[in-house]
Each structure stands twice: as structure tokens, then as C-alpha cells.
A and B are shown apart, each in its own frame.
Chain A
Amino acid sequence: DAKTTQPNSMESNEEEPVHLPCNHSTISGTDYIHWYRQLPSQGPEYVIHGLTSNVNNRMASLAIAEDRKSSTLILHRATLRDAAVYYCILRDLIIQGAQKLVFGQGTRLTINP
């Protein structure tokens, strides 16, 4: 599995935008970029995924660099409930069958009131 690198921790203030970076310099052409987050004492939840173009959904936006070697998860207006560990994970599209997720250490996001 191609590896991702994320900062161990980040801090932001409530109602401000948050940009969570992820480096994946060894990404292959068929790797999708997935983001999950894990709130305290819960299982992870899916946030967003993309291949080349920027993606938006109700939870967040995903900005993907033109060379695809990095991406940024954007929370447009953070709330206290966004405090979680955020994981950036690569999944290869062409491998048959359901894809297992390989979790790194992720970024622990703290939101200040």
C-alpha cells in the first residue's frame, strides 16, 4: 500500500476553516485518496474521497494537488464536534474485491471554543 504522511496534531478555533494536509508522494495512477475520521471512543466514519478533481460534500472538501502527491481536507467552519483523529488513506481502484483500509497514525485535530 502506498504510504501517506500527516502531521501528528493540529489545533484550530471554533467557526474557523481547517486545512488538514496529507502527503502521498508514491501514489499510483489508480490510487484513490480517502479520508476517514474517528471521534473519541467511536469507530471511524467516512468523510470523503477523490481521484484527481477536487470534491465537495456536506462534511468537507477535498483539494487534490495537480501532481496528486498531496491533498488537503478542508473543514469550512469547524465546530467542537469536529475534534477527532483524521486519517488519509490510499486505496487502489484496480485490485479486485473489497479494499481493506490501512490506517496510519492520522492527525489529531483539537478545536478550541
Chain B
Amino acid sequence: GAVVSQHPSRVICKSGTSVKIECRSLDFQATTMFWYRQFPKQSLMLMATSNEGSKATYEQGVEKDKFLINHASLTLSTLTVTSAHPEDSSFYICSATAGTGNQPQHFGDGTRLSIL
């Protein structure tokens, strides 16, 4: 089946650091990628939708200058958490889809971000 690779799987860093998370579709071209955040014991919350070659669309309440998204190719999207603070600690998950309509989304295994 389709594989989405997310890297790194875990990051621990100091407050004020910027952290980049990569999401790659390994065996298909992802026209659209999505970034989610999940706090403990809660459901996934969509942060933004990323289309290759265009600006990301952010959900209401998500700061675009805080969470920078780049989707430079059909197989790679990156999420950069700028000047991270402890409240940004969370489980970040990306997903990718090859097409429109009812194509399933394929998810990465997530990145657990801990800001000290």
C-alpha cells in the first residue's frame, strides 16, 4: 500500500528553537498534503492543507507565521514550527493523497515534539 514517511519521529529541544518536520510520499505523487496536531487524549485537529506549488491554506486559529509549510514537490512537504514554546509540544501528523474526491488519505507515523 501507499507509504508516507515522516521525519523525525521524535524531537526534544529548548524553548525558542525552530523545528522542521518532513513528510514524504514514498511511492506516489501527493498533490495534496495535510498537517494535523494531536494533544494527549484528544482527537486530530487539522492545521493546514498544502498543495504542491502553492501557498498552504490554514485552518482558523492556526498562525501561518508560526507554522510554516512548504510543499515544494509532489513528494515532499515540510512543517516548520518557528520559535517553539512548551505549549507547542504535541504530536504532529501529516497525511498525503494522490488525487481528489474519495481517494484515501495516507498518514505518516507522526512526530512527537517536546519543547523544554
Which residues of A are at the interface with B, using a C-beta cutoff of 8 A? 32, 34, 36, 38, 41-46, 49, 87, 91, 93, 96-106
Check B107 against A43 for contact (C-beta < 8 Å): yes
Check B31 against A98 for contact (C-beta < 8 Å): yes
Check A43 against B101 for contact (C-beta < 8 Å): no
B114: min CB distance to chain A, Å: 14
B25 interface residue (CB < 8 Å to A)? no
Given contacts A43-B108, A44-B93, A98-B49, 20 further A-B contacts (CB under 8 A): A32-B102, A38-B44, A41-B112, A42-B109, A42-B110, A43-B6, A43-B110, A44-B95, A45-B107, A46-B106, A91-B102, A98-B31, A98-B97, A101-B44, A101-B95, A101-B105, A103-B36, A103-B43, A103-B44, A103-B45
How many interface residues does B have (CB within 8 Å)? 28
**Chain B contact residues, majority secondary structure:** strand
B100 interface residue (CB < 8 Å to A)? yes
- Which residue of chain A has its CB nearest to the CB of B48? A100
Check B100 against A100 for contact (C-beta < 8 Å): no
Which residues of B are at the interface with A, using a C-beta cutoff of 8 A? 4, 6, 31-32, 34, 36, 43-46, 49, 93-95, 97, 99-110, 112
Check B46 against A100 for contact (C-beta < 8 Å): yes
Distance in angstroms between the alpha carbons of A106 and B55 in the assembled complex? 31
Check A104 against B32 for contact (C-beta < 8 Å): no
